[in-house]
Amino acid sequence: MEMPLLCIKDLKVEYKQNGEAISGVDGVSLSINKGESLGIIGESGSGKTSLAMAIMGLINKPNEVSGSLVFDGNDINTLDKKQLSRLRWKRIAIVFQNSLDILNPLLTIQEQIYEVLIRHCDFSKEQINKRIMDLLLKVGLTLDTARCFPHELSGGMRQRVLIAMALSCEPELLIVDEPTSSLDSLSKNEIIKLLSELYIENNFALLIISHELDTVLKLTSKVCVMYSGTIVERGSTSEVIVDPMHVYTKGLLKSSPAINPFGDMWGIPNERSRVGKLGCPFENRCTQSIEICKTKKPKLNYILPNREVSCHRGGIVTILRGTALSKSYKSKSRTIEACINCNIEIKSGEIVALIGESGSGKTTLASILSGILKSDQGEVLFEEVPVRGNNFTSRQEGVQMVLQDPFSAINEKLSVGEAISEPVKIMTKQSSDLLKADVQRVLKEVQLPSEDAFLNRKCYSLSGGQRQRVSLARSLMVKPKLLIADEISSMLDPSTQANILRLLKKLQNEKGFSMLYITHDLAVARKIADRVYVMAQGKIVEEGIASKVFLNPDHEYTRKLVGETENWYVLNNKG
């Protein structure tokens, strides 16, 4: 079996500042084979650039690097300055992201590439000059560029110059740090195309470091996801981008306008306070953390062939699963099959849209999933425990349902405070002071007044939008892990509908509960859903990632629904 070109084991980078040790990389292990392309993605500060600097041997004292960095049989950490100098450019080269900072403002482009070649290659002056011209043409620049100074070039042109310099000595490994982050869309696409062509033509190993997921998707076959100096997920780039298995990776995807073209942009929830350094580094931002996450650091383990995740729960958990669910209603004259062998699952922290025409069986299926309605056959599991009646709707951190009609969903004779606190009073013996404080908290979360005057208002005096927010607050009081929202915006005016939906999505992102959103409105589903199930005549006829279902549906019924939505959009947006 061929040895990897680069093999990293338990790499740690510590920066020494003011007598303190700050971790940049914390126990990373990975390998890159000859001719392979690997992407490293993560937020700023996740350790991506520190990893690249360690590979290049550019982290100097008093900062410390430990672990092994073996390149073609030689440990980079054990090399002296001369050996490192021979390794850089000639065998490993890097393209940094800040071209104006990297390029010497006092030297022409020709002089800067010449300096690399004369230092690292055994070429004559004539050979070097010819090599410079060949490199400029290869990266799509004119020969006149050689006489230019860096400030005379655009950002995209300077990036091409850096690529030319990096390729000048024909390295076996090319590291590219944020190749497109500061470029306009046209220059960005040109750089991606250039790197792809050069990679195929020269057959070097390619390490792409970026927070731009679409760039990594286009340029790499494998990807590592980094957070707080550690790798939290690793696998095939296309598989990780389409089906993330770590909560952090999923948050990155939701934050990317290129990967998530339909929905609103929601970043990963801000860090909560975290005492000490024990446990999972992502625990204080994770929406599915459990007690062990606070005290024990998880290991990167295989959960599927060629797929690794660092998570005590084995990655994103399935919060609810319905299998082979069927339900029929009988009358004297006929039998109505409302649900026919339906299978559905909802993962932690995701929004699943259940779409279809009125009468397709959506509400029946939702009622079965919540335990309100008993199915004729099949099983529903909530966190792997069977749903029986109200065993999960009558407890905290269970399942809650927000119904379509806000006027019939709440007893209008109750005050706002009574309506919101009612579920908690039934489930717990919480003191009245704490209960009132919780009511005021959720009122603020749903953007309603929290003063006594509003708490004492009778529900019949509220508008439809206010009642729907009160219904939502009532559900949030018991901190559900799954919220089932059944056509909750269909009776509202467009402005109120938009406010309710954006509020609901904001709360879902912050609190991390899962949501089943039932609607016949494809435009709404497309805006908020991660995944989609399509129902027709009691059957689930299609399911998948929202972008796939809406852009390229497989089933004829889905194509009809999507087509009608698109026709409406075109008709109302002429000119």
User: Higher-confidence residue: 120 or 206?
Assistant: 206
pLDDT at 179 (0 to 100): 86
Confirm whether 531 is domain-assigned.
yes
pLDDT at 564 (0 to 100): 64
Confirm whether 1 is domain-assigned.
no
Using DSSP, state whether 244 is helix, strand or coil: coil
Residue 31 has pLDDT above 90, yes or no: yes
Give the mean pLDDT of 155-161: 89
pLDDT at 263 (0 to 100): 64
pLDDT in tens, 539-548: 999 999 888 8
Cis peptide before 553 (omega within 30 of 0): no
Confirm whether 208 is domain-assigned.
yes
Instruction: Quote the tokens at residue 342.
Output: 């339906």
pLDDT in tens, 402-458: 887 777 778 888 999 999 998 888 888 777 888 899 999 999 988 899 999 999 999
Paired with 302 in beta bridges are 308
Q: How far is residue 230's CA from residue 70's CA, in Å, rounded to a whole number?
A: 19
Instruction: Quote the tokens at residue 7.
Output: 């093999």
Amino acid residing at 44: S
Give the mean pLDDT of 105-124: 90
**Residues 85, 43 within the same domain:** yes
Q: Which residue in 519, 474, 473, 529 sits closest to 497, CA to CA?
A: 519
pLDDT at 568 (0 to 100): 40
Out of 250, 282, 310, a domain closes at 310
Confirm whether 233 is domain-assigned.
no
**Residues 330, 296 within the same domain:** no
Amino acid residing at 237: T
pLDDT at 569 (0 to 100): 44
CATH number at residue 168: 3.40.50.300
* Alpha-carbon torsion angle 379, 382, 385, 387, nearest 10: -50
Tokens 């852009």: give the residue: 551
Question: pLDDT class for 9, splitting at 50, 70, 90?
Answer: very high
Contacting residues for 247 by C-beta, under 8 A, at least 6 apart: 282, 286, 287, 288, 311, 316, 348, 349
pLDDT at 411 (0 to 100): 85
**Residues 510, 463 within the same domain:** yes
CA-angle at 392, arms to 388 and 394, nearest 5°: 110
User: Residue 529 phi/psi, 5° resolution?
Assistant: -90, 145
**Residues 295, 216 within the same domain:** no
Question: pLDDT class for 265, splitting at 50, 70, 90?
Answer: low
Indicate the pTM of the whole model: 0.86
pLDDT at 574 (0 to 100): 45
**Residues 336, 417 within the same domain:** yes
Structural domain boundaries enclosing 143 = 6-228
**Residues 336, 286 within the same domain:** no
Amino acid residing at 106: L
pLDDT at 314 (0 to 100): 94
> Which of these ranges, 39-43, 266-270, 316-320, 450-454, has the smallest mean pLDDT?
266-270
Contact status, residue 31 vs residue 200, Cβ threshold 8 Å: no
pLDDT in tens, 335-361: 889 999 999 999 998 999 999 998 899
Confirm whether 181 is domain-assigned.
yes
Residue 25 has pLDDT above 90, yes or no: yes
Confirm whether 316 is domain-assigned.
no
**Residues 468, 534 within the same domain:** yes
pLDDT in tens, 504-516: 888 888 888 999 9
Q: How far is residue 375's CA from residue 354's CA, in Å, rounded to a whole number?
A: 18
Residue 177 has pLDDT above 70, yes or no: yes
Question: pLDDT class for 570, splitting at 50, 70, 90?
Answer: very low
Number of domains making up the chain: 3
- How many Cα atoms within 13 Å fall on the side-chain side of residue 396? 12
**Residues 177, 290 within the same domain:** no
Q: How far is residue 305's CA from residue 158's CA, in Å, rounded to a whole number?
A: 41
pLDDT in tens, 90-106: 899 999 877 677 889 99
Length of the chain: 575
CA-angle at 90, arms to 87 and 93, nearest 5°: 85
Looking at residue 257, the DSSP 8-state letter turns out to be T
Interstrand relation of 205-210 and 37-41 (parallel, antiparallel or unpaired): parallel
**Residues 509, 549 within the same domain:** yes
Out of 253, 277, 310, a domain closes at 310
pLDDT at 277 (0 to 100): 67
Question: pLDDT class for 32, splitting at 50, 70, 90?
Answer: very high
**Residues 419, 272 within the same domain:** no
**Residues 39, 115 within the same domain:** yes
Tokens 């299926």: give the residue: 365
Out of 310, 340, 357, a domain closes at 310
Contacting residues for 426 by C-beta, under 8 A, at least 6 apart: 394
pLDDT in tens, 294-312: 999 999 999 999 999 999 9
User: Residue 343 phi/psi, 5° resolution?
Assistant: -120, 130
Residue 8 has pLDDT above 90, yes or no: yes
pLDDT at 155 (0 to 100): 86
* Mean pLDDT for the chain overall: 88
pLDDT at 366 (0 to 100): 94
pLDDT at 1 (0 to 100): 62
Contacting residues for 538 by C-beta, under 8 A, at least 6 apart: 337, 338, 339, 340, 342, 360, 361
Confirm whether 236 is domain-assigned.
no
pLDDT in tens, 63-73: 999 999 999 98
pLDDT in tens, 526-535: 888 889 999 9
**Residues 79, 181 within the same domain:** yes
Confirm whether 200 is domain-assigned.
yes
| Listed ranges 117-131, 193-207, 258-272, 550-564; the one with the highest mean pLDDT | 193-207
**Percent of the chain scoring above 70 in pLDDT:** 94
pLDDT in tens, 196-229: 999 999 999 999 999 888 899 999 999 999 999 9
